[in-house]
Structure 1
Amino acid sequence: MENEKTKTPMDKVKLHPYHPDTPTFRYTHARYFDRMGVVDEQMGKVVANLEADGLLEDTFIFYFGDHGGVLPRGKGYAYESGLHVPFVVRIPENFKKLADHERGTRTDGFVSFIDFGPTVLNLAGLEIPKQMDGKPFLGKGTTAEELSGRDEAFGYADRFDEKYDFVRTLRKGKWKYVRNYQAFYPDGLQNNYRYRMLAFAEWRNLYKAGKLNAEQSQFFERRPPEQLFDLESDPHEVRDLSSDPKHKDVLAQMRVGLRQKVKRIHDLSFYPESHMAAEALGDGVAYGRRHTKEINDLVAVADLSLVPFAKAKKALAEALVSGNPWERYWACISCGVHGETAKPLVPTAKKLLTDENLMVRVRAAEFLGIIKAMDPMPTLVGVLNESESGQEVLLTFNTIAYLRDHKGYAFDLSPVKLKVKRGEYTRRTDYLSGKGKL
């Protein structure tokens, strides 16, 4: 930091409430603003070249980010800091009739990336295929009034490099609903790419040293299975309202809305990645449609984590012995979310440590490890040595990293003799062994 000064004054930076106020974080924010200035300059050159070539007033310009930014808790996370991107459209004079907007105006309507394809086709006067997702926001048939009324957006976070997660979000006006399907994983679970960054590494070190306040610590702690945020009063999503009785009706509506969405799109992440790669890679849409009922059943088992354990116990017990391995898989995850209250199901879960499905074994060991019912590592090492799937190995290492770093279990890499010889799992082995440059 000392060798590269920033143009943006570090003392003028306004930090997010979830970031600690340190020189490292101030430098990181200032450096980020500096780089945005460089990108703006480059975009200015593109515009100047179009003008010099006489093409500016014949060209629609879309200028946007591909994610919410690279600051910690940005890219790859399903908060607004990771999902909400800057987006500017320049409408050319010669085609202004295709846009019901005045230059220099702003709309509060929601636009998603899936809307870009239909919009470009619409501007070109081409038919939009019925199977294409998204809605055009410019061109024939669109109006500024209709666009300003769009107030709903769907978001998600799954695997990021070697780090697995499963988060879905629904934004409706000022309300943001977050569904953490694997709520026991903290946002700050190890990801080598991120922790190479000075700010990420310092943030975790400060947490371990007990030097963060509650808002700054959230990133490294277990999450609720569902969260509700009022983005008008809490744009940084640090005050979860899901347990506030005053908002129970909004919470219920948003929960139903998201549940309907994941069912409607046949969300394939209710299967582990190894199964998707083996069975659905050729045509995921067709696979999802063929397995609509099964996916809906898995959603129901996953959502048992949202009700008190006393009410969920009977259904979870049945799912743990289901003939469908993915119901057993999700029953274990839901038990892990319930945590200590799910102890009555420990005897049944222990039987799954020898399940014919390796991913069920992993999730059973994970649940039992979370509540300290047994050491999960021998089972997980056994899965690593037996599996012939790179995705299964990677997911198993995700569980190992979580249980070692956040539950205190010791892990010895020496008994691991993988049949899989290539894959992103090396990021985990480098980290867990302490070798390699992270």
Structure 2
Amino acid sequence: MKYRLLIIVMFVCFNSVLKAQQPNIVWITSEDNSKHYMKLFDEHGIETPNIERLAKNGIVFNNAFSNAAVCSAARSTLITSSYGPRLATHYHRAEGKVTLPNNQTMFPAYLRKAGYYTANNAKEDYNINKPDDVWDDSSKKATWKNRKEGQPFFYVFNIGTTHEGTLHFSEETMNTTKTNTNPNSVFVQPNHPQTDLFKYTNAYYRDKIQAMDAEVGAVINKLKDDGLLENTIIFYYGDHGGVLPFSKGYLTETGLQVPLVVHVPEKYKNLSIFNAGSQTDAFVSFVDFGATVLNIAGIEIPKTMDGKPFLGDNIKEQTITKRNETFGYADRFDEKYDMVRSYRKGNLKYIRNFQPFNIDGLMNAYRYKQMAYAEWFNLFKAGQLNKTQSKFFETKAVEELYDIEKDPFETNNLADKEGYQAELKTMRKTLISWMECQPDLSFYPEFYLLENAIQNPVEFGNAHKKEIKSYLNISNLALLDYDKASSKISKHLTSNDPWKRYWALIVCTTFAEKAKAFIPQIENIMKSDTQLINRMRAAEYFGVTGLKDTTKDMIETVYQSKNDTEALLILNAIALQKDFYQQYNFSINTSKINKKLLENKLISERVAYINSK
């Protein structure tokens, strides 16, 4: 009996020692930062002494990526270690939150179950119904100090100093507030106007980055003061790119490529294949972060996660150093819709625009609070931009290909260049395969997913994998010469499946006037389709091409809509017609709109903008 008791005591003690040896893990997250504005990563960046100090004994990841370029979509990827299009968590901001399957949860829950104290200070911004077992504390008062004695902890500290909203300054601010950074010394990227406002905005933003850096230093100092620094693995990273124009919300590198520095103390050097003070060009993405934290903590990574760890036990150097791929996704950003996917491999970046007639510079109320956005648009309308600067306000190519090393701001599309066709086809094939495997739920309109898939998007996707593949195949008709695509378009315009008709209409609009042979079918859909959104897509075809004035038809679909996200998508198409293409004048009678829809701020703001002169 005594012998048995001794074994139990020894086992408990051994278990306690093991738990004591588990590293603390801290994430310091700054909002709206790509790597391009920090000297540690880019010659045009500002000095960040605290982050640079962390890097001296840490690892600098030169190729770290957010898979989504906006807050809630990026954070939903982080917290699940799973791709957004598979979970339907990639719309910003969620009009309806997703319920995760029973066999999947947010990764901190696995840490808690293993004995970790989990604390988040304080931003969540998930597009998911949060389970109860994720955080011990998620609040502005959350700290590691409330854990049990000797208990390992996972702590997230969010810094909002660089958030997009801080660049919503006024003309008075610009005239009265002098920046620490000299506006005449900053680099203004080549696709931006080289104006005083853009120079000031760049300088102002760099000042905010330095203020953020001081907050990073404060967290590190608290860990040091508490004697925890040598027991804690620290991640510093930006929560996605941004926030100068054409970054946050877009699948540019300034929207996706984030700064990442990881400090691994000497006692845990066995958990890293990288030497202290080193840099790596290995690709890591947000989808990998949760899996990496679990691996560091010695917790088995659930098969439901898409991510692959890059730190922790059993990581082979040759595997990590060969990583050179990442995927990106963008859909709705507030009231602005677009569907874009990206795939980067090494220096080459492939972008697939599924609705290339959507203009990147389309009005977005929150985005255009930044004076630089408004000035850029005004200069475009005045004809005062060069070809590179005007691209933001013009129709897009179906496919884009860039050499990021030679062209970091993606100004020279190589997709139609003779020497790049082999790479283009290979990258196209890889992206298509990835979207099929997800499967990518965006081939259904968002409102349909909210009505039919929100309670279990994964199960819905798996059950409709065949249909999603067929919609993807229809969308890819836009990659063919029109003569080769036309017979298949005709078939799908008269399909019994409404979403085949939906994608056939989008392909017609992509081909524009080349598809005018289908005018009778498109008119028939506009007048009598069972899906209101298809009637809008048909009317949109005529608006984009200018073959017929369908302003009344488009407005009528607004009046008939009873669904928030359906109405937002319709209003997106109307805003396109107002500002681009035929620049029609629209007058929407708010008394004819479903009253419940007008309670949605995004809808009321969009309607007000459309009605403005």
The CA distance in 1 between the partners of 2:276 and 2:592, in whole Å, is 63
Aligned partner of 2:322 in structure 1 is: 149
Aligned pairs for 1:106-145 (under 5 A) are 106-145=279-318
Q: Deviations over 1:284-310 (max 9, x none)?
A: 111010001100000011011111111
Question: Does the residue aligned with 2:284 lie in a helix, a strand or coil?
Answer: coil
CA offset at residue 48 of structure 1? Answer: 0.9
Contact 1:99 1:143 in 2 (8 A): no
Pairing 1:361–2:532 present: no
Deviation at 1:414, TM superposition (A): 2.1
How far is the alpha carbon of 1:373 from its aligned partner? 2.0
SS in 2 for 1:412: coil
What's the CA shift string for 1:309-337, capped at 9, x where partnerless? 11111000111000100000000001111
Alignment size in residue pairs = 435
Among 415, 425, 440, which residue is 1:267 paired with? Answer: 440
Give 1:144 deviation, angstroms. 3.7
Native 8 Å contact 1:185 1:402 kept in 2: yes
Shift of residue 135 of structure 1?
A: 0.3
* TM-score of the pair, normalised by structure 2: 0.70
1:378 aligned residue: 552
Q: Separation in 2 of the partners of 1:379 and 1:290?
A: 35
Q: What's 1:411 paired with? A: 586
Matched, 1:32 2:210: no
Q: Which contiguous aligned blocks of 4+ residues in structure 1 show a shift greater than 4 angstroms?
A: none
CA distance in 2, matches of 1:186, 1:394: 16
Matched, 1:200 2:378: no
User: What is the CA distance between 1:415 and its match in structure 2?
Assistant: 6.7
Task: Give the alignment of 1:243-392 within 5 angstroms.
Answer: 243-353=416-526, 354-392=528-566
User: 1:204 & 1:177 partners in 2: Cα distance?
Assistant: 26
State how far apart, in whole Å, the 2-side matches of 1:21 and 1:74 are: 17
Alignment partners' CA distance in 2, 1:256 and 1:379: 38
Q: 1:426 aligns with which of 595, 599, 604?
A: 604
Q: Distance in 2 between matches of 1:402 and 1:355?
A: 22
**2-side partners of 1:191 and 1:153: how far apart?**
27
Query: What letter corresponds to residue 194 of structure 1 in structure 2?
Result: R
For residues 416 and 342 of structure 1, do their structure 2 counterparts lie closer, same or farther at Cα, with a shift above 3 Å needed?
farther
Q: Give the drift of 1:413.
A: 1.3
Residue type of the alignment partner of 1:310: D
CA RMSD of aligned residues (A): 1.2
Q: Which has the higher strand share?
A: 2
- SS state of the match for residue 336, structure 1? helix
CA-CA distance at 1:368 after TM superposition:
1.6
Counterpart residue number, 2:8: none
User: Is the CA contact (8 Å cut-off) linking 1:381 and 1:416 kept in structure 2?
Assistant: no
Q: Find the partner of 1:225 among 373, 379, 398.
A: 398
Counterpart of 1:402?
576
Aligned counterpart, 1:165: 338
Q: Once the two structures are aligned, what percentage of the paired residues are identical?
A: 44
In structure 2, C-alpha distance between the alignment counterparts of 1:352 and 1:76, rounded to whole Å: 32
**What SS is found at the alignment partner of 1:141?**
coil
Deviations 1:156-181 (A, max 9, x none): 11100000010000001111000000
1:2 counterpart SS class:
helix
| Partner amino acid, structure 2, of 1:161 | D
| TM-score with structure 1 setting the length | 0.97
Query: Which moves more between the two structures, 417-426 or 101-110?
Result: 417-426
- Provide the residue aligned with 1:97 in structure 2: 270
Counterparts of 2:432 and 2:577 in 1: how far apart (Å)? 29
- Aligned partner of 2:247 among 74, 80, 97: 74
- How far apart, CA to CA, are the structure 1 residues paired with 2:404 and 2:322? 17
Once the two structures are TM-superposed, the CA of residue 186 in structure 1 deviates from its matched residue by 1.2
Shift of 1:145: 3.5
Aligned counterpart for 1:209 among listed residues 378, 382, 385: 382
Give 5+ residue unaligned stretches, structure 2: 1-173
2:356–2:397 CA contact under 8 A, matched in 1: yes
Say which of 180, 188, 201 aligns to 1:15.
188
Q: Deviations over 1:124-154 (max 9, x none)?
A: 1111001111000100111343222100100
Post-superposition CA distance 1:207-263 (Å, at most 9, x none): 111111111110000000110111111111000001111111111111111111111
Distance 1:416 1:247 in 2: 54
Per-residue deviation, 1:379: 1.6
2: CA distance, partners of 1:361 / 1:243:
33
The letter for the 1-side match of 2:266 is: E
Q: 8 Å contact 1:107–1:147 — kept in the other structure?
A: no
Deviations 1:88-136 (A, max 9, x none): 1111222121111111111101111010110010011111001111000
Q: Secondary structure at the match of 1:239?
A: coil
Residue deviations 1:360-396, cap 9 Å, x none? 1111111121111222222222211112111111110
Superposed CA deviations along residues 406-432 of structure 1, whole A, max 9, x for unmatched, are: 021120112761123322211201212
Residue by residue, what CA displacement relative to the aligned partner does 1:41-81 show, whole Å, maximum 9, x if unpaired?
11011111111110001111111111111100110001111
Asked if 2 retains the 8 angstrom alpha-carbon contact of 1:302 and 1:334, the reply is yes
Q: What secondary structure does 2:361 align onto?
A: coil
Corresponding residue to 2:215 among 42, 60, 66 = 42
1:370 maps to a residue whose letter is: V
In the alignment, the residues of structure 2 paired with residue 20 and residue 167 of structure 1 have an alpha-carbon distance, to the nearest angstrom, of 25
8 A contact 2:586–2:611 mirrored in 1: no
Q: Gaps spanning 5+ residues in structure 1: where?
A: none
How far off its partner does 1:352 sit?
0.2
Partner Cα separation in structure 2 for residue 76 and residue 396 of structure 1: 20
How far apart are the structure 2 equivalents of 1:210 and 1:263? 42
Is the counterpart of residue 57 in structure 1 residue 235 in structure 2? no
Instruction: Report SS of the residue matched to 1:60.
Output: strand
Q: Distance in 1 between matches of 2:266 and 2:215?
A: 22
Relative contact order higher in (CA < 8 Å, ≥ 6 apart): 2
Q: Which amino acid aligns with 1:51?
A: K
Q: Which amino acid aligns with 2:281?
A: D
- The 1:36/1:143 distance shift into structure 2, 3 A limit, reads farther
